[in-house]
Amino acid sequence: MAIVQWNIRGYRGNYHELRTLIADTNPHCVCLQETKLNVNDIYSPRGYDILNVNRVDGEPHGGVAILVRSELPYTKLNLTTDIQAVAVRVQLDRLYTE
């Protein structure tokens, strides 16, 4: 089981490195901060689903995302918060909440 966490400081600018990291480590989940995505930039590496939260004003600053392998059973959790946060419950060798 592998879960990777990275302050990516720009999803688009570091997408190639993200794909390399995924190819090298084959993680089940990747937790990202500072994605700096806007609504038109939502895309994920092949084989992964993306769950993300961006700024509500649409500006590409901050932002968080979790990439989950597409074949894994997972559920996005609803959070009641004013902060940029995303959470998911994933079934790996046991149930994890990230």
Domain positions in the chain are: 3-97
Beta pairing partners, 33:
7, 64
Q: Model-level pTM?
A: 0.89
Neighbours of 79 (CB within 10 A): 10
Residue with tokens 């999803």: 11
At 23 the pLDDT is 97
* d(C-alpha 40, C-alpha 21), whole Å: 24
Q: Tell how strand 3-7 and strand 29-33 pair up.
A: parallel
> What pLDDT digit, counting tens, does each position of 44-94 carry?
999 999 999 887 676 667 899 999 999 999 999 999 988 889 999 998 888
Which residue(s) pair with 5 in the sheet?
31
Q: With 0-12 CB in 10 A as exposed, 13-18 as middle and 19+ as buried, what is 1? A: exposed
pLDDT tens-digit series, residues 12-55: 999 999 999 999 999 999 999 999 987 677 789 999 999 998 87
Q: Give the Cα separation of 51 and 87 in Å (integer).
A: 8
Nearest CA to 60 among 12, 3, 17? 12
What CATH superfamily is the domain 3-97?
Answer: Endonuclease/exonuclease/phosphatase (3.60.10.10)
